[in-house]
Structure 1
Amino acid sequence: MGEMEISGAAAPNRDKLGTSPSNGDAHLQGSAKRKLAEDKGYIFDKRLRYNVRQNEASYRFRDIVVRKEDGFTHVLLSSQTSENNALTPEIMMEVCRALGAAAVDDSKLLLLSAVGSIFCSGLDASYLIGRLSTDRRKESSRIAEAVRDFVKAFIHFKKPIVVAINGPALGLGASILPLCDIVWASERAWFQTPCAALRLTPSGCSSYTFPQILGVALANEMLFCGRKLTAQEACSRGLVSQVFWPTTFNQEVLLRVKEMASCSAVVLEESKFMVRSLLKSMLEEVNEKECQMLKQLWCSTKGLEALFTYLQSKSYNATSHESV
């Protein structure tokens, strides 16, 4: 439904991280609902998205929502132009703009989360096929550069990045997590990087970070075989730091983010610098190599055929009610 359609029947409210609330807020109507949204500050209904943006001065963005809170910036993936918060060059550019603004404002850290039940489904395969079918050489360069700049924005962000994973994180949506500083997940979250199924090489520096964090054997299973990790498995292997029960996930995350935001901005930034500074040059080099390889694959006929095959398989699995 288009974002200007805000006068129809009320959809379920969204809580502070963009997922559905478990209290009785969904029963409130009209002005009472709007008043509650103002009081709680984070109630988020996709069909009220246009009004929320105007109130929060985030109308510059179409596929993300940016909120300025006390001590931190909250960026929510909320794609209107792709399904399941999938990434396109335009969406990645919006995230880069949001990170660029947050890097120089008075916030002490950045919280990244998502609206809906899926955190991020990675690069939009349908978008890739549509673009690469027109001009493979030109579009492969453009999309690879967008991925490179997107990943680079996370590598160079000086303030701590906290990620709240409310649901599945796939492909590039999972690969960027080691580039962030703290990852908290809902019990409902799971992680998968089906690179081989798409005949693609790793992205998001995962060819380096996954073996470092998960160990070579498990990293290879994820990158080559598309192994799916549950939230608890990801936590036990170090990809996620804590897992929370779904009904209290948002409250647990926000409590901890606010505690972090009460710390000294200088201490937070300098601490991150000491932890990350030696890795930056390595991550930059890995990012460049990964994107160069993606560009070469997208230029090839076999690469395009693999995307078609993946989408056909995905459609079949969805029809058969299987997870993908």
Structure 2
Amino acid sequence: MTGHLTVVDSDATRIITLTRADKKNALTQDMYRAMAEAINSAQHDAAIRCLVIEGSGGIFTSGNDLEDFLQAGSAGAGLRESQATTFLHALANNQKPLLAAVGGAAIGIGTTLLFHCDYVIASSTASFATPFVPLGLVPEGASSLLVPRAIGHHRAFALLVMGRKIDANDARDAGFVNEVVPPEQLRAEARKVAAEICRLPAEAVALSRQLLKLPAEQLIERIDHEGRLFGERMTSDEAIAAFKRFFDRKK
């Protein structure tokens, strides 16, 4: 595992916690690799009935660590061959109920991964944004397929293309957040819901979940298609200029 991620099995639930709070839980290649391993290794473990992803330090994740991400793509691999894609494939192939506990900001993949989840709890301080297009990029994580299916084309356009930020209550109204709770209740509520799912008949849950989800093959096909476009866009004049503006603001 990585020092920026903890994986704890509590009863029948595997809890994956992002612990890079000093960097707003920005995701590195090592963190993606560790999350994929935590998800994949749970698939054939009958003792694990449910998965939870959460952040620490009052934030879910600020998305990709852009310096780390750009370095990983410097050889021309782009998103398609990065550890981010390994993680996204793990989400697509996952057969266990997956919960997210979102406190604070969920940016980029921090939002798009939620559409692979089965239940999402947000704190009242949560916010959601996918600034791909403002950075000269395109959506990822099969979000171009999943988000319109979940919330409709018009809301998806505002979120994925215009990059508009929405708050927890708007996300609940849109339908991709189940419940909004005070920040101090977020972790306890996530564990309560996970325990409720774990008490259900495991085979019936698995079969029913499979009926509700799109086939993994269809998700992976879209993830890889988006990844090819994403990799191409990373070397575009628009993206290079947008990244330069981003890093100039950080100086």
TM-score computed with the length of structure 2 as normaliser: 0.92
- SS of equivalent to 1:311: helix
Letter in 1 for 2:2: F
In structure 2, C-alpha distance between the alignment counterparts of 1:97 and 1:107, rounded to whole Å: 14
- SS of equivalent to 2:41: helix
Q: In the alignment, does 2:140 pair up with 1:199?
A: no
**Of 78, 82, 86, which residue of structure 1 is paired with 2:26?**
86
Q: 1:233 to 1:66 in 2, by over 3 A?
A: same
In structure 2, C-alpha distance between the alignment counterparts of 1:300 and 1:199, rounded to whole Å: 8
Q: In the alignment, does 2:52 pair up with 1:111?
A: yes
- SS of equivalent to 1:104: coil
Q: Compute the displacement of 1:303 (Å).
A: 2.6
- SS of equivalent to 2:111: helix
Partner of 1:296: 232
- SS of equivalent to 1:209: helix
**Of 56, 65, 70, which residue of structure 1 is paired with 2:11?**
70
Q: 1:258 to 1:218 in 2, by over 3 A?
A: same
Q: Compute the displacement of 1:312 (Å).
A: 2.9
- SS of equivalent to 2:121: strand
Are the counterparts in 2 of residues 63 and 94 from structure 1 also a CA contact under 8 Å?
no
- SS of equivalent to 2:138: coil
Q: In the alignment, does 2:198 pair up with 1:257?
A: no
In structure 2, C-alpha distance between the alignment counterparts of 1:248 and 1:158, rounded to whole Å: 27
Q: Compute the displacement of 1:283 (Å).
A: 1.4
- SS of equivalent to 1:243: strand
In structure 1, C-alpha distance between the alignment counterparts of 2:123 and 2:59, rounded to whole Å: 11
Q: Compute the displacement of 1:199 (Å).
A: 0.6
Are the counterparts in 1 of residues 52 and 190 from structure 2 also a CA contact under 8 Å?
no
In structure 1, C-alpha distance between the alignment counterparts of 2:149 and 2:36, rounded to whole Å: 26
In structure 2, C-alpha distance between the alignment counterparts of 1:230 and 1:161, rounded to whole Å: 22
1:160-192 CA distance string (max 9 Å, x none):
001111111000110111111111111110100
Aligned residues: 249
Q: Compute the displacement of 1:131 (Å).
A: 4.9
Q: Larger relative CO (CA 8 A, sep 6+): 1 or 2?
A: 2
The farther-off stretch of 267-276 and 153-162 is 267-276
**Of 248, 251, 254, which residue of structure 1 is paired with 2:185?**
248
Partner of 2:87: 150
Q: In the alignment, does 2:99 pair up with 1:159?
A: no
Q: In the alignment, does 2:220 pair up with 1:284?
A: yes
**Of 149, 160, 163, which residue of structure 2 is paired with 1:226?**
163
Partner of 1:120: 61
Q: How does 1:3-42 map to 2 (within 5 A)?
A: none
Q: Compute the displacement of 1:79 (Å).
A: 2.7
The farther-off stretch of 209-218 and 161-170 is 209-218
**Of 104, 109, 124, which residue of structure 2 is paired with 1:172?**
109
CA RMSD of aligned residues (A): 1.9
In structure 2, C-alpha distance between the alignment counterparts of 1:304 and 1:223, rounded to whole Å: 20
Are the counterparts in 1 of residues 95 and 206 from structure 2 also a CA contact under 8 Å?
yes
- SS of equivalent to 1:158: coil
Larger radius of gyration: 1
Are the counterparts in 2 of residues 176 and 205 from structure 1 also a CA contact under 8 Å?
no
The farther-off stretch of 185-194 and 144-153 is 144-153
In structure 2, C-alpha distance between the alignment counterparts of 1:273 and 1:244, rounded to whole Å: 28
Q: 1:154 to 1:129 in 2, by over 3 A?
A: closer
Name stretches of at least 5 consecutive residues in structure 2 with no aligned partner: none
Partner of 1:237: 174
In structure 1, C-alpha distance between the alignment counterparts of 2:72 and 2:14, rounded to whole Å: 33
- SS of equivalent to 1:85: coil
Partner of 1:95: 35
In structure 1, C-alpha distance between the alignment counterparts of 2:87 and 2:60, rounded to whole Å: 17
Are the counterparts in 1 of residues 18 and 54 from structure 2 also a CA contact under 8 Å?
yes
